[in-house]
Structure 1
Amino acid sequence: MGRPYTEEERAELKIKIKEAAAKMFMQLGFKDFRIQLLTKQVGISLGGFYSFYKDKEALYEEILRDEKNRIRKKILTIIEEENQTPKEFFTDLAHVLLNKTVTNKFYTNEYSSLLETLVWNDDSITAEDNLHFIQQIRQIWANKGIVISASNEELAAAVATLAILCTHKEKIGVGFDSWYPVIEKALLEQL
């Protein structure tokens, strides 16, 4: 049995575990992620891992929450500091979503994806959280004198629709590339 970690060591190790795991989830996806590979990379035992997390699902969920919060702070900062119109911002967001679903397995995982955590409205708590975030965005624009005609619910639904399209583009097939811009434009015109 290994020695117990000090509080400082625990804090440092937890950061190291999450950073290494986030990279592995991004590259491998949830299904192919192995705790044994993580512990080897971080330099801790399996027991050491389990002193931090119940299982890989708990680790993954914590990383998703952290990443969601980081992304939302970044979005609020961008909206606050740049003079993008809502249409410009949501167009950029749609393109980022499209790019991330191609390059990062964290955004399109079979277990639970970052994209789902950010935009899905499939339960009341997530929907309320998403609407609160939309309200924060709306308030920044209102402070700049920009009024958005769409409701918070309509904005959340538009973003979720774009995300659904991006995450299922392989299932949509060849027509995706020609139809996605048309659908994106139609949704954004509602702002």
Structure 2
Amino acid sequence: MEDKKADIYNCGKELFSSKGFKDTNVADITKKAGVSVGTFYNYYPSKEKLFMEIFMNENVKLKKRMMSSVNPEDTPLDFIKGFLSMNIAGMKSNPILKEWYNRDVFNKIENLYRQENGNDSVNFIYGNSLEMVTKWQGEGKMRSDLSSELIMAIFAALINIDTHKEEIGLQYFPEVLDSITEFVIKGLMDTGK
């Protein structure tokens, strides 16, 4: 039974990667996996649910690579800029994660992602980053008049700015993101000393 689910998952991942979310349908996946449509629905209630499972797993892999690549001794500004840069590069280089930037797909899957507690799937990042923020606060490198949880919410907002690059303007987006990040982090580093 689990082999069939793995086949559906792997074939879905391959098709979503090559054809995209929009141009992949359940019939394509079941044909490639060699299972019936009914078998697909025994494991996944919809194409969207399968896609989200694949997306979440790919997102976790990316975030683990990022966490192993960052230098915790960097200044908060260098750390966050590096983290954002790696996140954008990783999202753009992975065809599954890249779908997050496709407006049609994004609108369709965003609510599902939120409902599925997408943020909970990368809680290890939150925990590690929260510890780092608390450390920076203790060392006087970051404001202590704000809770570390609020600072983490600000970091999450910075990460999510890239989903609005079309509204910002593609020609300005990289500079806007870099400038906003610098302004925000420098403001968080201003400890009044």
Aligned mates of 2:151, 2:81 — CA distance in 1 = 16
| Aligned residue number for residue 127 of structure 2 | 135
Aligned mates of 1:94, 1:88 — CA distance in 2 = 10
The TM-score, its normalising length taken from structure 2, stands at 0.66
Selected match of 2:89 from 99, 103, 113:
99
Q: How much does 1:128 deviate?
A: 7.7
SS at match of 2:109: coil
1:114-129 residue pairs with structure 2 within 5 A? none
| Aligned residue number for residue 112 of structure 1 | 109
Aligned mates of 1:88, 1:61 — CA distance in 2 = 31
Which string of whole-angstrom CA distances, capped at 9 and with x for unpartnered residues, describes residues 22-73 of structure 1?
3433444433321111122222221221221111122123223433443444
The one-letter code of the counterpart of 2:158 is T
Count how many residue pairs are aligned between Structure 1 and Structure 2. 172
1:168 partnered with 2:164: yes
The TM-score, its normalising length taken from structure 1, stands at 0.66
Which string of whole-angstrom CA distances, capped at 9 and with x for unpartnered residues, describes residues 60-101 of structure 1?
23223433443444444445xx55524333212211333345
| Aligned residue number for residue 32 of structure 1 | 23
After TM superposition, the structure 1 stretch with the greater mean CA deviation from structure 2, 22-31 or 87-96, is: 22-31
5+ residue gaps, structure 1: 1-9
| Aligned residue number for residue 15 of structure 1 | 6
Change (3 A) 1:102 1:144: closer
CA RMSD of the aligned region, Å?
A: 3.7
5+ residue gaps, structure 2: none
Contact 1:131 1:152 in 2 (8 A): no
Contact 1:131 1:153 in 2 (8 A): no
1:48-127 residue pairs with structure 2 within 5 A? 48-78=39-69, 82-85=71-74, 86-103=76-93, 104=95, 105-108=98-101, 109-110=105-106, 111-112=108-109
Q: How much does 1:18 deviate?
A: 1.8
Q: Percent identity of the aligned residues?
A: 22
SS at match of 1:44: coil
| Aligned residue number for residue 184 of structure 1 | 181
SS at match of 2:30: helix
